[in-house]
Amino acid sequence: MARAKKKKNNYLKWFIAGSVIAAVVFVGFLAYLWMQTREPDFVQYKEFGIPIPSNYEIHGIDVSRYQQRITWKAVKAMQVSDIKIGFAFIKATEGNSNKDPFFKRNWKNAKDAGMIRGAYHFFIASKDGKKQAQNFIKTVSLERGDLPPVLDVETTNGASASTIRKEVKKWLDVLEEYYKVKPIIYTNVSFYKRYFEGHLDDYPLWVAHYLQPRQPRIGRNWVFWQHSESGRVNGITSKVDFNVFKGDSTAFNSLLIP
């Protein structure tokens, strides 16, 4: 009688163990199916040299003289899977009088290659915003289908927060009056939180924030996200900044100069 009871207990133990194993295998199988159907946040492309956020439809770059001579037709033609370069922001001016030595060439050749282009000004916070705006206007002729002008603000140059915002607003007002379109503000998350949070929120924001899993960590809405500064693109010999647009092609086209 005791032996039969012991044998029965062994069967029960084996049954429980088997049930646990089967449950674990089943849960693991369900997790595998979920992972197969779930789109990853980033996909590593060796051709671009960086992980690319996969949940965005429109990708682009920004360049300046540091990229030297660019073969824009090669940039435009590059496509890996469904990822291609859909736009490019090009540095035009800096401060009151400086001009990027490669701007004129980049501006023309990007258009000739069929690239949607935008121009940006690097802001010197301690200098007059109106004079800086005039420098940009004298340099950049925007056309239908171009992106709005961009003000790149990322250094204080010793100016106070109130001075920075005052001079930035001067630049934005002059540009909006001249081009009849609302300019975009570019900055990084840290600079934004320190100097702009709660101010100038009616302007579109292009924000830089690297090594983030899905999007920049910022409370307000944004239209462009610079997610890497070390990408690779055909036609450019040096590393280049990579960006995404927050929205679909309809939203992107509505942003362009009419």
Q: What is the pLDDT of residues 10-43, one digit of tens each?
A: 555 555 655 556 554 444 444 433 333 334 577 8
How confident is the model over 112-118, as a mean pLDDT?
Answer: 98
What's the pTM value of the predicted model, to 2 decimals? 0.84
pLDDT for the residue 140: 98
Reported as a pLDDT band with limits 50, 70 and 90, residue 146 is very high
Query: Residue 232: exposed, middle, or buried by beta-carbon count in 10 A (0-12, 13-18, 19+)?
Result: middle
pLDDT tier at 44 (50, 70, 90 boundaries)?
confident
pLDDT at 31: 40
**Residues near 185 by beta carbon (within 8 Å), at least 6 away in sequence:** 150, 151, 153, 168, 172, 196, 200, 203, 204, 205, 206
The domain covering 42-255 belongs, at the CATH homologous superfamily level, to Glycosidases (3.20.20.80)
64 band by pLDDT with thresholds 50, 70 and 90: very high
Q: Is 47 a catalytic site residue?
A: no
Q: Is the pLDDT of residue 3 over 60?
A: no
For residue range 181-209, what is the model confidence (pLDDT) as tens digits?
Answer: 999 999 999 999 999 999 999 999 999 99
Report CA dihedral (214, 218, 221, 225) to the nearest 10 degrees.
Answer: -50
Examine the residue annotation and report whether 62 is marked as an active-site residue of this protein: yes
Mean local confidence (pLDDT), 78-101: 97
57: number of Cβ within 10 Å? 15
The pLDDT value recorded for residue 11 is: 57
Q: Which of 47, 128, 154, 176 is catalytic?
A: 154
Nearest to 148 by CA among 138, 134, 166, 136: 136
Task: Pick the catalytic residue from 62, 100, 152, 241.
Answer: 62
Please state the domain extents for the chain. Answer: 1-38, 42-255
Question: pLDDT value at position 15?
Answer: 54
Confidence at 54, pLDDT banded by 50, 70, 90:
confident
Residue range 160-181: mean pLDDT, rounded: 98
Q: What is the mean pLDDT of the chain?
A: 89
